[in-house]
Amino acid sequence: MTTTPSPHTEEGTHPVADQIPDPTRSPVVPVTDAINTIALTECQDSEHRIHFRHAERVESLTLAELDGRARRVAGRLYELGVRARDRVGIMAPNRIEWVLLDLAVLKLGAVTAGIEPGRYRPEQILDEFGLTLLFVEGGARGQVRDIAEVMDWAEETDLAGGGFEASGLGEGYDPADICAIKQTSGSTGVPKGIEATTASVNQSIAAVQEMFDHRHGDNLMVFLPVRFLQQRYWIYSALVHGHDVTLADRITVLEVAKATVPTVVMGVPGFYEQLKARVEAAGPVADPQARRAAVQAELGGRIRYLWTGSAPAGRAMLDFFNDCGVPLYEGYGLNETCIVSKNHPGAARVGSVGKVLPHKRIRFDKDGILIVGTTHPVNTRYTWCGPGANEKTYLPTGEVRTFDIGHVDEDGFLYIDGRVDDIVTLSGALNILVPLVEEPLRELPGIHDCAVFGDGKPYLTAVVSPAAPGTDHQALARSVSELNDRLRYEQRIYGVVVAAEQFSIENGLLNAQYKLVRSQLAKRYGDDLDLVYQKQKVYNDGTVTGVDVLVTAAAEGTEEA
């Protein structure tokens, strides 16, 4: 392994930064079977690299070196009894060993199961998913292995597992074969497990490549958990399309970006909201050129475009990046469907989630719910789920009921307006799609994030995550009152609870994709919201006037305004 050079050498150049995406270096024939290309061939690419943090520093391997080390790991797995179609679990945060294991599993024709660390006992996962092996951080015993030993396997000069080597590469995958197990994010309850088909993975990677033409000179940064299968697509893309890729995590992403100068960053809206706040805190950014320079400086200086999805992106945040010439392309998809639509160069409309991909088809049912079909489904059922979950989500046609509400404009751009689960019904039988209220509320001064409640109640209330300690309750009350003047009467908020801390992954109020975990928010702040309803006696029937917004602190906070 080599250490990635600093972005600024004595000569003022950078070996990675000096590469410019070159259309002439794109593959002549698009690779449409990425999984079998990785599984059945040895990568000979010694020009492009994978960058990653290891032993407290940024290092890199050529893609040929990465592939060779993955073959050595495959040999070890074979020696430990892993065969084609066996399931290998990985329950660890992002690290290069994760990538090596996943590629090794593909070379054996087996199945990678990405599992959220810390959520389950290893013994529980082994049994529930029928795993041959499970890799975790520390605590090796029996079928549970320490993921740290994978690096030792990768660097061995004598390849173990002679049976694997003697029989050559694995037999690969048929289109309907399972190559990975996906877990849903758990934002709407206990995570469900889906077995992903090889054809669905190949189809998504090919569609993205057609839209974005990732090529020589590109460096795609992955920092969201690679246990989510889509995050591994960009590693597969590097191996088959010939470009760099960088592996980081949400803690080290900005540090690693400065060292490896990516051209593309794959992030959720919450990450870009934090980046926006960071840039704004550093100084005035009204001038587009100054803002562009500040954004580029935070991400290494060579960004071609930014990618976002997995949760709704606010218009102010999208405009912040797009208006200064750093394109931020929003898309839409689910674990059950993979990528459905995507804004991209030549077909982008801010506020939409892009046009539907050619291999996807959509319709809306009688209740306005978005239904998605595809030529190669991820699957047509959950393998692991609670009673009734399959019937609720998968239709007999093989289509997926998304529970999202949206519309398509006259030019074919898809808009997601909210989820059925996001509809609150007030006691006066008024139905409100709360994301349409949360988005403008989230943009008020002093608010970092928010969640709106009110199901079965006489009016809407909100729990807000403060932008900084010491929220001015009176100023916040005035801001919400002014917002109410711009909202429809049923959307107006008459009570606000200020949380003592920001919503985060660590405190369980956001999931790994930075989505609100509404059930946990309702549980944690339910008593505070009940007190608001006791104090603020309002019935919102459209005739309410002259009522001040009540702002209180959560139980561990300060006195009410």
What count of other Cβ atoms lies within 10 Å of the Cβ of residue 449? Answer: 22
Flag whether 480 is in a domain: yes
Quick one: which of 166, 145, 144, 170 has its CA closest to 84? 170
Flag whether 541 is in a domain: yes
- The CA distance from 381 to 404, in Å, is 19
Pick 241 or 4 by higher pLDDT. 241
Six-digit token pair at 550? Answer: 């009540």
Per-residue pLDDT tens over the stretch 216-234? 999 999 999 999 999 999 9
- H or E stretch at 460: strand 460-466
Per DSSP, the three-state class of 261 is coil
Q: Pick the range with the lowest mean pLDDT from 92-101, 106-115, 157-166, 204-213.
A: 157-166
3-state secondary structure 365-408: CCCCEEEEEECCCCCCCCCECCCCHHHHHECCCCCEEEEEEEEE
Flag whether 450 is in a domain: yes
**DSSP symbol at 312:** P
Per-residue pLDDT tens over the stretch 344-379? 999 999 999 999 999 999 999 988 899 999 999 999
Per DSSP, the three-state class of 425 is strand
pLDDT at residue 3 above 70? no
Flag whether 468 is in a domain: yes
pLDDT at residue 249 above 90? yes
pLDDT at residue 165 above 90? no
pLDDT band, residue 546 (cuts 50/70/90): confident
pLDDT value of position 30:
59
Domain ranges, residue 526? 427-553
pLDDT at residue 17 above 70? no
Quick one: which of 2, 117, 6, 10 has its CA closest to 51? 2
What count of other Cβ atoms lies within 10 Å of the Cβ of residue 315? Answer: 13
Flag whether 482 is in a domain: yes
Flag whether 114 is in a domain: no
Residue 306 exposed, middle or buried by CB count within 10 Å (0-12, 13-18, 19+):
buried
35 close to 236: Cβ distance less than 8 angstroms: yes
Strands of the 144-146 sheet, one edge to the other: 144-146, 133-136, 87-91, 111-114, 178-183, 193-197
Flag whether 75 is in a domain: no
236 close to 209: Cβ distance less than 8 angstroms: no
Q: Pick the range with the lowest mean pLDDT from 116-125, 182-191, 286-295, 544-553.
A: 182-191
Flag whether 443 is in a domain: yes
pLDDT band, residue 433 (cuts 50/70/90): confident
358 close to 32: Cβ distance less than 8 angstroms: no
For the chain, how many structural domains are there in total?
Answer: 1
Please list, in sequence order, all residues whose beta carbon lies within 8 angstroms of the beta carbon of residue 158, skipping any fewer than 6 positions away: none
pLDDT band, residue 166 (cuts 50/70/90): very low
pLDDT value of position 428:
76
Q: Which amino acid is at 449?
A: D
Domain of 481: which CATH number?
3.30.300.30
DSSP 495-549: EEEE-SS---TTTTSB-TTS-B-HHHHHHHHHHHHHHHHHH-----SS---SPPP
DSSP 266-303: E--HHHHHHHHHHHHHTS---SHHHHHHHHHHHTTS--
Mean pLDDT score of the chain, rounded to an integer? 89
pLDDT at residue 192 above 60? yes
199-234 burial: b if 16+ Cβ within 10 Å, else e: bbbbbbbbbbbebbbbbbbbbbbbbbbbbbbbbbbb
